[in-house]
Amino acid sequence: MKTVRLYIKKDCHLCEDAEMILDAVATRVPFAVQVVDVERDPVLLKLFGGHVPVVDFGNGTRLYWPFMPDDVLEALDGTAGVVGGAAPGQAIKGPVVGGRTRDVVILVDKLLYHLAKHWVLFVGFFIGLYAGLPFLAPILMANGYAAPANLIYSAYQFACHQLPSRSYFIFGQQVAYCHRDAAIYVTLFVATILFAFVRHRIKPLPWQGYVAFIAPMAVDGVTQLFGLRTSNWQLRTITGVLFGLGSAWLALPYLEEAFQDVRQSVNDKLHLE
């Protein structure tokens, strides 16, 4: 006897209606119905969770709700299958979920889980890399490694004016970005590291507070741009630190909330904790 699978979820009245339709058709054309709760399988939940009830007739033929007894009969006869773009109530042919697909989906979910759990480490690494390379450039240049040093200078010239009068020097060689950029990105890196220890307790900075953190840099930069005054390295550094600190305080808690949602969602399916 042929067996078809009915994918359902708990507390789904449409799933109950679908089962009644299948039972009614089975009195005319005998077949067995295997009811599968997709919430018990992370792969099936990802594939069918938003579409239940779904009937799988085998050989890649599926019927999505809404459907009627005649649709079930046609699917059983194999005459209603189409490839993609099926309208509601039509059978649709597609690849059957195999072991390899299942393994790939679970692997992706596990990678997302670990990213969500350790996102501060990943973000801190890339911010630290971006913040640190400009300081490596003058060290390389001072030790005769001009080619890699120039590569760093060239890469950062798209993000910074690199004016010598507004940049730090190490061993007599210019850092690859200016005072203000150095202050911003080093502060972001340090703030990210510190955030790892308080990530569950700190709340996002209100936008009014963020304005207070970035206003000094805006005033310092705009007044110098229009020739109203001349800034100095101390002001550029202090205002850059404030901007970096405010940006970290604003963004990092929101990232923590978002990644916690991802972590919880994956854990609910795979029970990794």
Specify which residues 32 forms β-bridges with. 3
Determine the Cα–Cα distance for residues 45 and 268; give it in Å rounded to an integer: 11
pLDDT in tens, the chain (273 residues): 788 889 998 888 888 888 888 888 888 888 888 888 888 888 788 888 888 888 888 777 788 888 888 888 888 876 444 333 344 444 444 444 445 666 777 788 889 999 999 999 999 999 999 999 999 999 999 999 999 999 999 999 999 999 999 999 999 999 999 999 999 999 999 999 999 999 988 999 999 999 999 999 999 999 988 888 889 999 999 999 999 999 999 999 999 999 999 888 887 767 777
Determine the Cα–Cα distance for residues 226 and 242; give it in Å rounded to an integer: 22
Please state, as a whole number, how many other Cβ atoms lie within 10 Å of the Cβ of residue 116: 19
Determine the Cα–Cα distance for residues 188 and 124; give it in Å rounded to an integer: 9
Query: What is the fold of 3-97?
Result: Glutaredoxin (3.40.30)
Determine the Cα–Cα distance for residues 86 and 88; give it in Å rounded to an integer: 7
Determine the Cα–Cα distance for residues 120 and 192; give it in Å rounded to an integer: 7
Phi, psi angle pair for 93, to nearest 5°: -95, 140
Q: Which two tokens stand for residue 129?
A: 């890399």
Domain definitions of the chain by residue range: 3-97, 114-270
Under 8 Å between Cβ of 60 and 96: yes
| Per-residue model confidence (pLDDT) at position 102 | 64
Determine the Cα–Cα distance for residues 191 and 78; give it in Å rounded to an integer: 62
Q: Hey, is 6 helix, strand or coil?
A: strand
- Pseudo-torsion of CA 251, 253, 256, 260, nearest 10°? -130
Considering only CA atoms, which of 91, 5, 72 is closest in space to residue 41? 5
Determine the Cα–Cα distance for residues 242 and 235; give it in Å rounded to an integer: 11
